[in-house]
A and B are shown apart, each in its own frame.
Chain A
Amino acid sequence: MLSIRDLERIANRVRRHVVQTVHRVGVGHLGGALSATDILTVLYFHTMRIDPARPDWEDRDRFILSKGHACLALYAVMAERGYFPLEELATFDEVNSRLQGHPDMTATPGIDMSSGSLGQGLSTGVGMVLGAKLLGKSFHTYVMLGDGECQEGQVWEAAFVAARYKLDNLTAILDWNRLQQYGWHTPGDDDQVRQTPDETPAPKWQAFGWHTIELDGHNIGAIMMALQEAQGIKGKPTILIAHTVKGKGVSFMEGNYLWHSRAITNEQLAMALAELDG
């Protein structure tokens, strides 16, 4: 059983892998990968019933990265967890690589569903949970969503159906970093302020019949507890509304929409790695 400090160290290594990989390939979705890192670390190292040696184990818990562009963090967590060698992260985005630009379930062991076109992951999670019920299986399914992604109508189609079917083996996690790619620029506002204009996700999910849990998405202990609470909720699905910072861990990336997807220079890499020292 790993301690909170252990998980924090793993998350730090994951962040280092993310910035190094983006630097190597030239460009990548940094911001949303860094905001998701702590949650992914807890899921893969503490909460989920999984076995990296048996990525197709029928009774495994499932995870769907609906915000698929953040896959660098997922790949790094999975490599640390043992799904494939850490060295393989260097092949990200190369031709014939097992690590595709967005999650590809046909290419990467341990990826439960392909994603990349936003808004689709929650639906596939609903399908897995419904399938589990029909098959008499008790595995849990986790779906991570982006907040910009929740602008897609399909997310709400899935939310409605999940509550209608009382899917309590479904837990969604909203990586609420309050930025997207280009954002909503209002004349007169600071040009750097491009926040996703949804200040109140919780009442929306509650209105759709979901149990909501708000938490600090960078507090390992809080994430552990929230996921545990979610497992105990019966008769309705749960969403964790994780307050996160886009670019978390690298000071010049934090809260800056320009780091949604960007190249990272040698200087910037050095600065980032110096900060990600712990």
Chain B
Amino acid sequence: MTEEIALRDAFGNALAELGHQNKNVVVLDGDLANSTRVDIFADAHLGRFLEMGIAEQNMIGVAAGLAAVGLIPFVSTFAAFAATRDLDQVRVVVAQPKLNVKICGGYSGILTGRTGKTHQSVEDIAVFRAMPNMVVLAPGDAVETRQVIRAAAEYTGPMYIRLTRDPTPVIFGEDYRFEIGKGVVLRQGDDAAFISTGVQTIRTLEAADMLAAEGVSVYLLHLPTIKPLDEAAIVEAVRRTGCVVTSEDHSISGGLGGAVAETLAEQCPAPMRRIGLRDVFSESGPNEALLEKYRLTAGHIAAAAREVMALKQRL
């Protein structure tokens, strides 16, 4: 039975731990601390926990001011708000001056505890990927999340970290080493490549296992960093296999799929399918129903692999 840990719990604990190690780390909250789990940091380091209330634009500006005087602010809100409501602020006082602000977008993707489309983010990767000077990270499990937070504190510059709400399987062992900008090959194979990010990697692994049972060997590349993009790893995956399926709990436009398509079109064109929301917002519902309706399940990923393999044969 695989252990399941919510990324938000791993995130909250990692931040609190970081707070013990680094006195310059401060955390800003937009009245969501018990959802995003930065309340764990608040319990441990109340003096460095700055409640900013329901005012995300101001929160980003405050973080910029803190960074400008030498502190390391982690700003926490839901991904939907981080990527849209305060975007001009991120642009002008974080990205443009390259200030050392870490924006942590919780409740990303469509599995947000039945809150519905306003609280679900299907655009955050696209939005932050398009912004110069931003590093964009989407860890796949609790182990990776913990390392991402440590790496965030050691990296100097603007950063967006995409997090999720519900318990998900742990896929990395304690010997795993996350590195900003580096993809991780989780399966070797020759028939098709899967390139996935965030917790969608878990469903992508399931799809790989489904196909393995049918005698299809899938190469699986997990990209916890969407920006800067590990182009070499993407090209390697597609050179070996000749066709690719990208997989993300995000729109198919502008996110991981967009990034991979841009790279491959320039460096290694190949048949491709993108798994993600097909230019639609999501809705309220239980997780399994949403995954099915919005076609993010292992079954959908496997079907896409069969499509691209067929396309590959025809070329």
Q: Which residues of B contact A115 (CB under 8 A)?
A: 92-93
B263 to chain A, nearest CB (A): 29
Decide if B26 touches A134 in the complex (CB within 8 Å).
yes
Is there contact, CB below 8 Å, between A127 and B61? yes
Per the bound structure, the CA–CA distance linking A122 and B58 in Å amounts to 8
- Residues 206-251 (chain A) with a chain B CB within 8 angstroms: none
Q: How far is the CA of A134 from the CA of B25 in the complex (A)?
A: 11
A106 contact from B61, B67, B97, Cβ within 8 A? B97
**Chain B interface main SS type:** helix
Whether the Cβ atoms of A124 and B61 lie closer than 8 Å is: yes
Q: How large is the interface on B (under 10, 10 to 19, 20 to 34, 35 or more residues)?
A: 20 to 34
Within A119-149, the residues touching B (CB, 8 Å) are: 119-132, 134-135, 137
Which residues of chain A are within 8 angstroms of B91 by Cβ–Cβ distance? 117
**Distance of A165 from chain B, by nearest CB (Å):** 8
- Which of B50, B69, B93 is A114 in contact with, Cβ under 8 Å? B93
Q: Which of B53, B63, B73, B97 contacts A105, CB < 8 Å?
A: B97
B97–A104 CB distance below 8 A? yes
Known: A120-B89, A161-B52, A161-B55. A131 touches B65 (CB 8 A): yes
Complex Cα spacing A114 to B26, Å: 22
Q: Is the CB of A123 within 8 A of B68?
A: no
Residues in chain B near residue A124, CB distance under 8 A: 61-62, 64-65, 68, 93
Q: Are the CB atoms of A113 and B68 closer together than 8 Å?
A: yes
Q: Which A residues are in CB contact (< 8 Å) with B186?
A: none
User: With an 8 A cutoff between CB atoms, is B215 at the interface?
Assistant: no
Are A135 and B89 touching (Cβ within 8 A)? Answer: no
A134 and B71 contact, Cβ closer than 8 Å, known pairs A126-B61, A127-B65, A157-B58: yes
B98 at interface, CB cutoff 8 A: yes
- Closest B residue to A120 by CB, please name it: B61
For A121, the chain B residues whose CB sits under 8 A away are 61
Q: Mark B4-47, 1 if CB is under 8 A from A, else 0.
A: 00000000000000000000001000000000000000000001
Q: Which of B262-312 contact A (CB under 8 A)?
A: none
B64-81: CB near A (< 8 Å → 1, else 0) gives: 111111110100000000
Q: A160-B55, A161-B52 are in contact. Are A128 and B68 (CB under 8 A)?
A: yes
For residue A139, give the distance in angstroms from its CB to the closest CB of chain B. Answer: 9
Identify which of B50, B55, B60, B93 contacts A113 (C-beta below 8 A).
B93
Closest to B60 in A: A123
The chain B residue sitting closest to A103, CB to CB, is B97
Q: How far is the CB of A208 from chain B (nearest CB, A)?
A: 13
Inside 8 A of B68's CB, which chain A residues have their CB? 105, 112-113, 124, 127-128, 131
Asked if A113 and B89 sit within 8 Å, CB to CB, the answer is no
Q: Is the pair B57, A123 in contact by a Cβ cutoff of 8 Å?
A: yes
Once the chains bind, are A158 and B97 in contact (CB under 8 Å)? no
B62–A132 CB distance below 8 A: no
Contact at A131–B89, with CB atoms within 8 Å? no
Are B50's CB and A130's CB within 8 A? yes
Query: A268 near B: Cβ within 8 Å?
Result: no
Cβ-based interface call for A109 (8 A): no
Nearest A residue to B65 via CB reads A127
**Can you list 30 pairs linking A and B with CB atoms under 8 Å apart?**
A58-B69, A104-B97, A105-B97, A106-B98, A114-B96, A114-B97, A116-B92, A117-B88, A117-B91, A117-B92, A120-B92, A124-B68, A125-B65, A127-B64, A127-B65, A128-B69, A130-B50, A130-B62, A130-B65, A130-B66, A131-B65, A132-B69, A134-B71, A135-B71, A153-B57, A154-B89, A157-B53, A157-B55, A157-B58, A161-B53
A residues lining the B interface (CB < 8 Å): 58, 104-106, 112-117, 119-132, 134-135, 137, 153-154, 157-158, 160-161, 164
- Interface residues in chain B, defined as those with a beta carbon under 8 Å from any beta carbon in chain A: 26, 47-48, 50, 52-53, 55, 57-71, 73, 88-89, 91-93, 96-98
